[in-house]
């Protein structure tokens, strides 16, 4: 019902149906044109690349929650778009009257729109303040050839993060029955990943032969350019130039300290300022300045030691360390990932490490808090609890079952994705009849 879109303008009719499963399945079968490309399944549909979708189906006996303002839905590639459709069909739309501003970020549509759809989706996120993004393909040389792309398009995550100019916070989800590779990690560690600049907006080049590499800064206003000699190449090699800006680093510091303070956890910043004295040193100095001016008294007064800790990392470091952290806590799939914009008003929930488990509650929780929607917040809390409790009850997908039973786990100990979502849906239905969770 909610997948691909990049044809000419069309509209979604406000169809009402007492049987959501019948409506959704018939919609899917009529809208999709299936195909195969080098053994990969792809889907296209007759929606424009940005449309508004509203579900009018209702679940039996449940008064659906009205969500006053839209969220932005950014569809992805391969299985993630199919799983996302299942999640919406079974866990979200039967219970919420929700307007979704839809963007198709599948690799073929990004290619067809010269990646303009990615920029448009990020701009929509800033407009509506809440977005959820599926995992997407960032093409390399092999993917360009495989899909016949016009260009090796940049990472959609990198593009969106630079437009929102924020910080990505990734935190493990702890389930009682999922063992940890690092048993000593008893409390969660939240990675704060600066989501602007550095390697993700760098300019790199293959050097073909001997010559001098220089870096030139040309000031506005006619001042004399500053020229730095980087390296005198004696033969072929590679070169890289990257940047960051004080404004973004300062926002990174503020958001990291704000999150740590709200969690009552200490905050650590990691840099390599002993080597990159000016580049990493700038991060260290700005963090220190922000702490001294705005946060020192608050942190010292409250002596924050109640939980784990927040670890503020530069862009690339945060990318690598969040993967390591997720694995140490048990699974790459048990990790939340949210991007907060520089002004703190916009949140984009990402599918961390290409998974679809817990980004939906975080996204809807932000919508609930912005709209002061208590019923929506109660629904979100019950949805997240249903996900965790389903796993803790022994109903899980194979990746988690392997962690408990070992690599030769037999079939009766795990569910396929569809069955797992069904199990969560049953648990959620039971919780929705329980009293509202107190704030």
Burial of 60 (0-12, 13-18, 19+ CB in 10 A): exposed
What would the two tokens of residue 301 be?
């007064």
Cross-strand pairs, 130: 347
Residue identified by tokens 């404004």 is 247
For the chain, the C-alpha Rg in angstroms (whole number) is: 23
**How many Å from the N-terminal Cα to the C-terminal Cα in the chain?**
34
Count of other CB atoms within 10 angstroms of residue 326: 23
407 annotated as a binding-site residue? no
160 annotated as a binding-site residue? yes
Contact indicator for 302, 246 with CB cutoff of 8 Å: no
Three-state secondary structure readout of 254-308: HHHHHHHHHHCCCEEEECCCCCCCCHHHHHHHHHHHHHHHHHHHHHHHHCCCCCC
397 annotated as a binding-site residue? no
170 annotated as a binding-site residue? yes
What would the two tokens of residue 170 be?
């990734």
What would the two tokens of residue 320 be?
């690598």
- Residue 323's Cβ-side half-sphere holds a number of Cα atoms within 13 Å equal to 6
Contact indicator for 265, 258 with CB cutoff of 8 Å: no
* Helix, strand, coil fractions of the chain, as percent rounded to 5: 40, 20, 35
193 annotated as a binding-site residue? yes
156 annotated as a binding-site residue? yes
361 annotated as a binding-site residue? no
d(CA 246, CA 256): 15
Contact indicator for 121, 74 with CB cutoff of 8 Å: yes
201 annotated as a binding-site residue? no
282 annotated as a binding-site residue? no
Residue 228 Cα distances to 145, 215, 217, 218, 429, angstroms: 38, 5, 9, 12, 64
Residue identified by tokens 């916009």 is 346
d(CA 135, CA 349): 11
What would the two tokens of residue 253 be?
């510091």
Count of other CB atoms within 10 angstroms of residue 310: 26
Binding-site residue ranges:
138, 155-161, 170, 193
Binding-site residue ranges for D-threo-isocitrate:
138, 155-161, 170, 193
């Amino acid at each position: 019902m909610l997948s691909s879109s990049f044809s000419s303008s069309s509209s979604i009719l406000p169809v009402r149906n007492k049987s959501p499963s019948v409506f959704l399945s018939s919609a899917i079968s009529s809208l999709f044109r299936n195909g195969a490309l080098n053994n990969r399944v792809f889907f296209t549909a007759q929606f424009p690349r940005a449309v508004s979708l509203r579900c009018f189906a209702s679940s039996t006996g449940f008064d659906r929650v009205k969500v006053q303002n839209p969220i932005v839905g950014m569809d992805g590639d391969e299985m993630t778009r199919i799983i996302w459709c299942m999640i919406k069909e079974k866990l979200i739309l039967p219970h919420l009257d929700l307007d979704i501003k839809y963007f198709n970020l599948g690799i073929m549509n990004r290619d067809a729109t010269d990646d303009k759809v990615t920029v448009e989706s990020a701009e929509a996120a800033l407009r509506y303040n809440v977005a959820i993004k599926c995992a997407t393909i960032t093409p390399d040389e092999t993917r360009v050839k495989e899909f016949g792309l016009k260009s090796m398009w940049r990472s959609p995550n990198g593009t969106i993060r630079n437009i929102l100019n924020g910080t990505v916070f990734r935190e493990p989800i702890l389930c009682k029955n999922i063992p940890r590779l690092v048993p000593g990690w008893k409390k969660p560690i939240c990675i704060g990943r600066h989501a602007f600049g550095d390697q993700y907006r760098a300019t790199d080049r293959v050097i073909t032969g001997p010559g001098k590499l220089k870096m030139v800064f040309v000031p506005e206003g006619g001042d004399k350019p500053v020229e730095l000699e980087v390296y005198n190449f004696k033969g072929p090699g590679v070169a890289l130039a990257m940047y960051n800006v004080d404004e973004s680093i300062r926002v990174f510091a503020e958001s990291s300290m704000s999150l740590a303070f709200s969690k009552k956890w200490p905050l650590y910043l990691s840099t390599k300022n002993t080597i990159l004295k000016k580049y990493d040193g700038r991060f260290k100095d700005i963090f220190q300045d922000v702490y001294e001016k705005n946060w020192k008294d608050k942190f010292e007064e409250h002596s924050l030691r109640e939980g784990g800790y927040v670890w503020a990392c530069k862009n690339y470091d945060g990318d690598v360390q969040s993967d390591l952290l997720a694995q140490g806590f048990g699974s790459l799939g048990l990790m939340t990932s949210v991007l907060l914009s520089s002004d703190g008003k916009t949140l984009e929930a990402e599918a961390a490490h290409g998974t679809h488990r817990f980004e939906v509650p975080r996204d809807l929780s932000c919508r609930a808090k912005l709209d002061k929607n208590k019923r929506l917040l109660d629904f979100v809390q019950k949805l997240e609890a249903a996900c965790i409790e389903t796993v803790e009850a022994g109903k899980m997908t194979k990746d988690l079952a392997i962690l408990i039973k070992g690599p030769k786990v037999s079939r009766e100990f795990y569910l396929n994705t569809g069955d797992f979502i069904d199990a969560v849906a049953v648990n959620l239905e039971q919780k929705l009849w329980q009293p509202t969770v107190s704030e």
